[in-house]
Amino acid sequence: MDGTSDTAPGAAGGDHGPFGRPLFDDPKARALSRVGVIDVGSNSVRLVVFDGAARSPAYFYNEKIMAGLGAGMSRTGHLNPEGRERAKAAIRRFVALADGLGISPLTAVATAAVRDATDGPAFQAEIEHETGLKLWVIDGQEEARLSAQGVLLGWPGSYGLVCDIGGSSMELADLQDGRVGKRVTSPLGPLKLQEVKGGKKGRRAFIKDTVRALFEDMGEQTGQRLFLVGGSWRAIARIDMERRGYPLFVLHEYRMTPRRVSKTLQYIEKSDLDKLRARCGISARRMELVPLAVHVLREVVARFRPKDIALSAYGIREGMLYEQMPQDLRERDPLIEACRFAEAKDARLPGYGKTLFDFVMPLFPRCGWQRKRLIKAATLLHDVSWRAHPDYRHEVVFDNATRANLGGLKHSERVFLGLALLHRYSNKREGTRFEPLYDLLDDRDRRDAEVLGKAMRLGAMLWLEDASAPPGTLRLSPRDKTLELVLHAQAGPLFGEVAAARLKSLAQSLGVAHSVRIKGARRG
């Protein structure tokens, strides 16, 4: 069965499901709220507490227990007894944590294992009796919709195919113009596949037939971006990173090609899994399922022929948060919202980021919107790490940009942002532990990041009492190979020896001569 609705049941309010109560009751409190979500899956039980900027939430708390609720269920029809006890203990702990943190009530959903098990209703009743927590069991189409909305949290306006693999099921959802369309569900979770009869041959035939049926149900979509959601996909991506010697260990927005995926799947099949698990930092319980997930991914890629493949660390839990956002908030850029939140919270002069953006933009007159948003993000973040030790600020800001939980950033864009912020505090980038990451950028991008950072470094010398007042204007003439800084009269006294040295360094990076003009006076 598939679904095409773009709205959630119970959205109008009342006791109609997990979304009857808005997670953020007052829009004014949205940026300050802490929201707890429990996801009871077939393989794991997780608590996530979101905090901070609502459009690009930070993870105030994140804990996972590999309970294995769905293990053996295809054979018995019941929840795994050991997994059941582990899940109950985890939920009791999570409820107690929420009470201690003052974030009750929690919103909790359960997926394939609980909805398919004959004792699923009894498990729900036990949880509610022992903890007071109502566990909402969602069907496969709703699971697919929420996972797809999690992808939209990181990529507003996305298009492509979302593939979410859990322990007992795998869902597909179509994204077009930032909206969730057709959805289908299947029993292709690794825990279910363990129970398929006929050995390896029978299992592969089952996977092939099931993926073919999914392909037909989804309208035979090919050539789109494939978004991968779920722990087994993340494990495969981590192994792909290890195989390639990839320098940035951030799974969200990690990109793969179908050809690279094929090589990695072969690599997994030929490797000693215990040694591979140790090298990649993958849990033993997760690694047990990877060989089964390998066959599913190979068939999905072969059948749907995606143009590229992107990992999404955002899934059902983030989709539950996205569900509560008004449309105008959903359409905002998650990167810029997160940076605005950081500036308001941590910068010495909140609001100067916008002024600094206007100051540096003349150096990038023909940049596209994607580059412009990175410049905006950098200027908003230019001063949020001022508390770090001066000798290490350039390292701290690079680390923050490349490893922070930020949505809407490709890995190369993370490095661009990090390098620009590094140059905000340091003229040189050589000799740092980050040098392997610079290779994710081409020469032009490295040069632009350096120019942006040095322009911010100059602009940071020219603060005025009114953060909205521009200190002056940068005028770049590529034809004449000149850079002129025109300062307003009130900013003139701020242009001392250090500022002059920073202007010179910026001009050197641009390969131009430089001059400064204040109130009609001129000196070069």
Q: Which strands, in side-by-side order, build the sheet including 2-3?
A: 2-3, 179-186, 170-176, 160-165, 225-229, 308-311, 255-256
Separation CA 214–CA 372 (nearest Å): 39
Domain carrying residue 163: 141-316
Q: What is the mean pLDDT of the chain?
A: 89
- What CATH number corresponds to the domain at position 458? 1.10.3210.10
What's the pLDDT at 322? Answer: 87
Separation CA 66–CA 235 (nearest Å): 14
Q: Do 249 and 393 belong to one domain?
A: no
Q: b/e map of 5-33 (b: 16 or more CB within 10 Å)?
A: eeebeeeeeeeebbbbeebbeeeeebbeb
Contacts of 282 (CB under 8 A, 6+ apart): 235, 238, 239, 276, 290
In a domain, 482, yes or no: yes
Question: Which residue type, as a one-letter code, is found at position 316?
Answer: I
Separation CA 349–CA 408 (nearest Å): 26
Angle (CA) 198-204-207 rounded to 5° is 115
Q: Please, are residues 174 and 190 in contact by the beta-carbon 8 Å criterion?
A: no
pLDDT digits (tens, 9 = 90+) for 93-121: 999 999 998 887 889 999 999 999 999 99
Q: Do 310 and 363 belong to one domain?
A: no
In a domain, 57, yes or no: yes
In a domain, 23, yes or no: no
pLDDT at 125 over 80: yes
Q: What percent of the chain is predicted at pLDDT more than 70? A: 91
Q: Which of 170, 210, 163, 193 is nearest to 288 (CA)?
A: 193
At residue 32 the predicted structure's pLDDT band, cuts being 50, 70 and 90, is: very low
- Find the mean pLDDT for residues 305-325: 91
- The count of C-alpha atoms lying within 13 angstroms of the C-alpha of 17, restricted to the half-sphere facing its C-beta, is 16
Separation CA 494–CA 73 (nearest Å): 71
pLDDT digits (tens, 9 = 90+) for 407-446: 889 999 999 999 999 999 999 999 889 999 999 999 999 9
Q: Do 151 and 113 belong to one domain?
A: no
Length reported for the chain: 524
Q: Do 211 and 124 belong to one domain?
A: no
- What CATH number corresponds to the domain at position 127? 3.30.420.40
In a domain, 362, yes or no: yes
In a domain, 2, yes or no: no
pLDDT at 522 over 70: no
Q: Do 37 and 74 belong to one domain?
A: yes
Helix/strand/coil (H/E/C) assignment for every residue in 8-21: CCCCCCCCCCCCCC
Q: Do 221 and 302 belong to one domain?
A: yes
pLDDT digits (tens, 9 = 90+) for 269-301: 999 999 999 999 999 989 999 999 999 999 999
Question: Which residue type, as a one-letter code, is found at position 239?
Answer: I
What's the pLDDT at 468? Answer: 65
Three-state secondary-structure class, residue 169? coil
At residue 83 the predicted structure's pLDDT band, cuts being 50, 70 and 90, is: very high
Q: Do 130 and 153 belong to one domain?
A: no
Q: Do 282 and 339 belong to one domain?
A: no
What's the pLDDT at 7? Answer: 37
Q: Do 178 and 281 belong to one domain?
A: yes
In a domain, 111, yes or no: yes
Q: Do 360 and 495 belong to one domain?
A: yes
Q: Do 110 and 201 belong to one domain?
A: no
Helix/strand/coil (H/E/C) assignment for every residue in 61-73: EEEEECCCCCCCH
Task: Tell me which of 120, 137, 154 is where a domain ends.
Answer: 137
This prediction has a pTM of 0.87
Position of tokens 């707890």?
A: 36
Separation CA 250–CA 280 (nearest Å): 13
Task: Tell me which of 90, 118, 137 is where a domain ends.
Answer: 137
Three-state secondary-structure class, residue 401? helix
In a domain, 22, yes or no: no
In a domain, 371, yes or no: yes
Distance of CA 289 to the CA centre of its chain: 24
- What CATH number corresponds to the domain at position 234? 3.30.420.150
Give the chain's domain count. Answer: 3
Task: Tell me which of 316, 343, 367 is where a domain ends.
Answer: 316
Q: Which of 481, 494, 486, 418 is nearest to 453 (CA)?
A: 418
Q: Do 391 and 295 belong to one domain?
A: no
